[in-house]
Amino acid sequence: MLKLLKQARAAFSMLSAEEVRKRAEKPIHFGLVADSSGAYAEMEAFLVPGGLSREERQQRILQVHRASDAEPPNQVDIVLYEPGISCPQGAFTYHRDDPERTVAEILEEKPDLGLALARQFPAFRSAVVEKVIHEVGGRTLCSR
């Protein structure tokens, strides 16, 4: 037990609070591609749910861009397509019947964005927390 505690303490000492904060605070921008305003609204609600505070909701919606916007940004971190529209490599399909699958696919391909996604978009929080728990638990078990 003492050995396990020493290993845990050593692992935590290697964490840089500043690095974790920097990763979590990186603004993530989504580009949405859909063929109707209803589909855009559905994907926006997935990313920016109504339960957020007014201020938080306003801030997050500024990070979600429709392809149909008059001036969409030149670059976004993640492009999300409505189901049924051909999705190019490097982009993701929004699985409306299985949003957790959408989350899992994005986190699988973009693991470096996990902390920021979890901090900024509620749909990603539980999956990222679960992943961190498994990673830390796996390291602890492997080091015994």
pTM value is 0.80
- 2: in domain: no
- 94: in domain: yes
Give pLDDT tens digits for 99-136: 999 999 999 999 999 999 999 999 999 999 888 777 76
- 48: in domain: yes
Q: CB-hemisphere CA count at 13 Å for 36?
A: 5
What is the domain extent for residue 55?
26-142
- 6: in domain: no
- 89: in domain: yes
Give pLDDT tens digits for 25-64: 899 999 999 999 999 999 999 999 999 999 999 999 999 9
- Given a cut of 60, whether residue 98 has pLDDT beyond it is yes
* Token pair in block for residue 42: 């559905």
d(CA 93, CA 105): 9
- 7: in domain: no
Angle at 105 between CA 128 and CA 30, to 5 degrees: 80
- 11: in domain: no
- 1: in domain: no
d(CA 48, CA 136): 29
Handedness of CA 68, 71, 74, 75 (dihedral sign): negative
- Given a cut of 60, whether residue 70 has pLDDT beyond it is yes
- Give the DSSP letter string of 13-27: HT--HHHHHHHHHSP
Least confident of 22-26, 110-114, 138-142: 138-142
Q: How many domains does the chain have?
A: 1
